[in-house]
Structure 1
Amino acid sequence: MITSSAAHLRIELETPHLLAEKLNAIVSSAWPSGEYDQDAMAFFLTCFEEGGDAAQGWYGWYAIDIDSLSGARTLVGSGGYFGPPDNNGVVEIGYSVLPQWQRLGYATEIVKMLVSHAFSFAKTKCIIAHSGPQNEASQKVLIATGFKEVGIDEGNLRFELKINT
């Protein structure tokens, strides 16, 4: 996983063909994937610009596969937070894996890394995530990584993982 920065996001928004060079990885023409779109990139860029150094690590991360034989690096997905923990210690995660890399364990690894990173900060008490009701694969990832379904928010299933679970 590589943490994103304002520089990464500017490249994605303004000159996306240069992202491969910045990440030193192959970037599929299908990138970006899922809900990580131009609006999300612009939102995260604003967060970086307003948050300065304190924002680093609290927004986007790139998931890179490194082939064990050739050493080739390929961007397979992304994950991140909607910001640092709020006043109640709650942080929300999101993640996406390109279709050709789905069902290979990447989403699970992304979620595990996000959980570990978030809980490494004493302020984090609870991590939430949302999944569409039809997205069974995402729901399985969340359950497998310790999240519990706790309700519905705006038509999406809400999952939580608390520090004491």
Structure 2
Amino acid sequence: MGDLVTERLLLHRLSVREAEALAAGTPAAEVCRAPEYPMDGDVAAARRFLRSCAEGRGARHPGAYEIRRRDDGCAIGGLGFHDPADEDGSVTIGYGLVPSARGQGYASEALRALLALAREIGITCVKGDADHDNTASQRVMTAAGMRLVAQDERVRYYETAWSDAPPGAVPGR
């Protein structure tokens, strides 16, 4: 699996080396980046990806991605899978954009591409969640085709699922 390309974005799949630099808060200097990038969530996602690799699950991890605008190549956020798919083919996703890139539809565009990838590689269910007051994230998941499936006093839970995985697909590969 490599980079994903959408109409306005390049979703760059992070290598271990790139994730290590991001986890240290020092992404590659050769890449243009928004002044607010990386944010705490980007660093945490890189660490989660590296932990999965260190535990020997890196080959099955569907990836952590840096969101870059195609028009100028600047990194504006990240998205990816928290872990490899579980035994039922289910994964949880996360995403975030720097404040200056929010409200332009980038997160929904990126999430749609990630959902398409998940389906293509045999993942059967993608889950996400957002606090009740995070209406922007709720709108992103809804716009990308995820549906509200549950909520508690603090969080709303979303998911999308498919029953038609490609023949022979191994979740996360």
Q: Please indicate, yes or no, whether the TM-score normalized by the shorter chain is above 0.5.
A: yes
* C-alpha distance 50-61 of structure 1, shift in aligned 2 (>3 A): same
Identify the residue that residue 10 of structure 1 maps to in structure 2.
Answer: 20
* C-alpha distance 162-14 of structure 1, shift in aligned 2 (>3 A): closer
Which TM-score applies when normalising by structure 2? Answer: 0.79
Which TM-score applies when normalising by structure 1? Answer: 0.82
Identify the residue that residue 20 of structure 1 maps to in structure 2.
Answer: 29
Q: What are the residue-to-residue correspondences of 1:12-161 with 2, within 5 Å?
A: 12-14=22-24, 16=26, 18-21=27-30, 25-33=31-39, 35-37=41-43, 39-51=44-56, 54-55=59-60, 58-67=62-71, 72-122=72-122, 124-152=123-151, 155-161=154-160
Q: Secondary structure at the match of 2:34?
A: coil
Q: Structure 2: how far apart are the matches of 1:141 and 1:13?
A: 25
Q: Secondary structure at the match of 1:27?
A: coil
Is contact 2:130–2:157 with CA below 8 Å preserved after alignment?
yes
Aligned identity (percent) is 25
Is contact 1:47–1:55 with CA below 8 Å preserved after alignment?
no
Q: CA deviation at 1:32?
A: 2.0
Q: Structure 2: how far apart are the matches of 1:52 and 1:127?
A: 18
Is contact 2:92–2:126 with CA below 8 Å preserved after alignment?
yes
Q: CA deviation at 1:145?
A: 1.5
Is contact 1:27–1:74 with CA below 8 Å preserved after alignment?
yes
User: Which has the larger share of helix?
Assistant: 1
1:90-125: CA deviations, max 9, x gaps? 111110011100011110111011101111123x21
Runs of 4+ off more than 6 Å: none
1:27-76: CA deviations, max 9, x gaps? 23312236333x433222121233366145x2310111122xxxx31001
1:119-150: CA deviations, max 9, x gaps? 1123x211100111111111111111111111
Q: Structure 1: how far apart are the matches of 2:41 and 2:25?
A: 20
> Matched residue pairs, number?
154
Q: Structure 1: how far apart are the matches of 2:93 and 2:160?
A: 11
Q: Structure 1: how far apart are the matches of 2:21 and 2:35?
A: 15
Structure 1: runs of 5 or more not aligned? none
Is contact 1:148–1:159 with CA below 8 Å preserved after alignment?
yes
Q: Structure 2: how far apart are the matches of 1:161 and 1:15?
A: 32
